[in-house]
């Protein structure tokens, strides 16, 4: 299979084929996931919670992200690698440029940042400098202290309209991809239809152009013993991790996941 690029992802959107994205933090998982057909591997700052054991993503540093991005690059067999800019790594334009360069030099093909319309300047400056950007909207875990918890976003009309306007503005600013976390499916569908770039969802229903999950979650691994409502445990019915990841790829491609019970 040829290497996955932004062109590949745009074609998948145009052809109505779902894009499969999954977090990866090390070489072995990167190898298993890319061989199984995961098209986008997200080196997520969720590593602060699932690898490091913190109760939020805030303690993760750019050096942590670069370390795991390098590992994922070594195991990758053709997927597009997207790396998160962690908390405070893009508070200024200078920070955004310097820290994105570090992640791209570590092996990322694209960076992801969390926020809303205020990110437009960052997005256009990064894309002008050759750094593709994914804008993460909706539930943005780096701002959990402002949001007051990990809650569904965009349920009210005014908030939903603001999210739609932000999505359109970020595409216009140069974002190459959008990621929607924990938003009502109807709103996710509206945003997906309103923009040309691929929209990846998590807890955003089956109408987005692709799906992402945290790999630990979809393997049924959790420190608290609870999994969020939008997660399916793909280990059930499988004998090994490679089987679970292949089942996830198939379920996303065939639009069997997410099902109604995983939506808001």
Residues that bind ligand KIV (CB under 6 A): 23, 42, 44-46, 84, 136, 179, 181, 202, 212, 214
The answer on whether 112 is annotated among ligand-binding residues is yes
Let me know if 181 is a catalytic residue: yes
Q: Residue with CB nearest ligand KIV? A: 44
What backbone torsions phi and psi does residue 48 show, to the nearest 5 degrees?
-60, -30
176 is in an annotated binding site: no
Query: Of the two residues 36 and 231, which places its CB atom closer to ligand KIV in the complex?
Result: 231
Q: Are 39 and 8 in contact (CB under 8 A)?
A: yes
Provide the 8-state DSSP code for 18.
P
User: What are the tokens at 15?
Assistant: 């052809």
127 is in an annotated binding site: no
Q: Which is nearer to ligand KIV, 4 or 212 (CB)?
A: 212
Of 1 and 221, CB closest to ligand KIV: 221
Nearer to ligand KIV, 2 or 53 (CB): 53
Catalytic residue among 33, 39, 171, 181: 181
The residues facing 210 across adjacent strands are: 19, 200
The whole-angstrom distance between residue 170's C-alpha and the CA centroid of its chain comes to 16
Q: How far is the CB of 27 from ligand KIV (least distance, A)?
A: 18
Q: What's the min distance (Å) between Cβ of 189 and ligand KIV?
A: 18
The DSSP bridge partners found for residue 181 are 138, 202
User: How far apart, in whole angstroms, are the C-alpha atoms of residue 239 and residue 235?
Assistant: 7
End-to-end Cα separation, the chain, in angstroms: 35
Shortest distance in whole angstroms from residue 57 CB to ligand KIV: 6
Q: Measured from the CB of residue 46, what is the shortest distance to ligand KIV in angstroms?
A: 3
The residues that bridge with 23 in the sheet, in sequence order, are 42
Q: CA dist 42 to 45, 115, 126, 214, Å?
A: 9, 17, 18, 9
Q: What does the buried/exposed string (b/e) look like for 185-200 if buried means 16 or more CB atoms within 10 Å of the residue's CB?
A: bebbbbbbeebebbbb
Alpha carbon distance 49, 55 (integer Å): 6
Q: Rounded to an integer, what distance in angstroms lies between the CA atom of residue 197 and that of residue 176?
A: 6
Name the phi and psi angles at 197, rounded to 5.
-75, 155
Measured from the CB atom, the residue of 94 and 147 that comes closer to ligand KIV is 147
Closest approach of Cβ 49 to ligand KIV, in Å?
Answer: 8
Q: Please report, in range form, the residues annotated as the binding site for Mg(2+).
A: 45, 84, 114
Active-site positions read 181
Q: Please report, in range form, the residues annotated as the binding site.
A: 45-46, 84, 112, 114
Q: Please report, in range form, the residues annotated as the binding site for 3-methyl-2-oxobutanoate.
A: 45-46, 84, 112
């Amino acid at each position: 299979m040829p290497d996955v690029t932004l062109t590949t992802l745009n074609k998948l959107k145009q052809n109505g084929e779902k894009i499969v994205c999954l977090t990866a933090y090390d070489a072995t998982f990167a190898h298993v996931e890319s061989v199984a057909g995961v098209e986008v591997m997200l080196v997520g700052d969720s590593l602060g919670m699932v690898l490091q054991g913190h109760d939020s993503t805030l303690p993760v540093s750019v050096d942590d992200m670069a370390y795991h991005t390098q590992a994922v690059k070594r195991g990758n067999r053709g997927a597009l690698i997207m790396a998160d800019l962690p908390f405070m790594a893009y508070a200024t334009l200078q920070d955004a440029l310097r820290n994105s360069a570090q992640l791209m030099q570590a092996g990322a093909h694209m960076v992801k940042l969390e926020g809303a319309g205020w990110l437009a300047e960052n997005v256009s400056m990064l894309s002008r400098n050759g750094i593709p950007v994914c804008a993460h909207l909706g539930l943005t875990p780096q701002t959990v202290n402002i949001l007051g918890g990990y809650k569904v976003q965009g349920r009210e009309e005014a908030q939903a309209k603001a999210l739609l306007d932000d999505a359109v503005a970020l595409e216009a600013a140069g974002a190459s991809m959008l990621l929607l976390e924990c938003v009502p499916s109807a709103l996710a569908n509206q945003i997906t239809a309103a923009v040309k770039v691929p929209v990846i969802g998590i807890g955003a229903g089956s109408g987005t152009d692709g799906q992402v999950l945290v790999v630990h979650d979809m393997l049924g691994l959790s420190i608290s013993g609870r999994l969020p409502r939008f997660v399916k445990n793909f280990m059930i019915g499988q004998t090994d991790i490679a089987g679970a990841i292949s089942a996830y790829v198939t379920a996303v491609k065939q639009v069997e996941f997410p099902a109604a019970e995983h939506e808001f």
